[in-house]
């Protein structure tokens, strides 16, 4: 199972959550950013439909895959 971890970070005079190199919008305070990250984490753990997805890797190559609706990641939010 895949595990992803959101981190709460200071950002643009407020707070944001980060996954890898991707940073969310800026929130006014730490608690608001933390709660937003927890909401996103809960949504990612909900089973959905099996669908085809396309994604681009760091070299600019596109990949096509099947994403099973019941193959959900383990998600953590770190302060």
pTM assigned to the model: 0.74
The count of structural domains within the chain is: 1
**Contact criterion met (CB below 8 Å) for 19 and 3:** no
pLDDT at 37: 98
Any bridge partners for residue 63, and if so which?
Answer: 55
Sign of the dihedral defined by the CA atoms of residues 54, 67, 46, 71, in that order: negative
Pairing of strands 22-23, 51-56: unpaired
- Cα 68 to the chain's mean position, in Å? 17
User: Quick one: average pLDDT of 50-54?
Assistant: 89
42: containing domain: 3-78
Average pLDDT over residues 18-40: 97
Give 1-27 pLDDT, tens digit per residue.
689 999 999 999 999 999 999 999 999
Q: How far apart are CA 9 and CA 51, in angstroms?
A: 32
- In this prediction, residues 26-44 reach a mean pLDDT of 96
Report the pLDDT value the prediction gives residue 31, as an integer from 0 to 100: 98
């Amino acid at each position: 199972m895949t595990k992803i971890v959101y981190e709460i970070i200071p950002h643009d005079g407020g707070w944001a959550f980060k996954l890898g190199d991707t940073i969310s919008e800026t929130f006014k305070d730490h608690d608001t950013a933390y709660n937003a990250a927890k909401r996103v984490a809960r949504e990612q753990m909900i089973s959905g439909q099996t669908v085809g997805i396309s994604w681009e890797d760091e070299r600019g190559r596109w990949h096509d895959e099947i994403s099973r609706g019941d193959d959900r990641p383990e998600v953590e939010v770190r302060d």
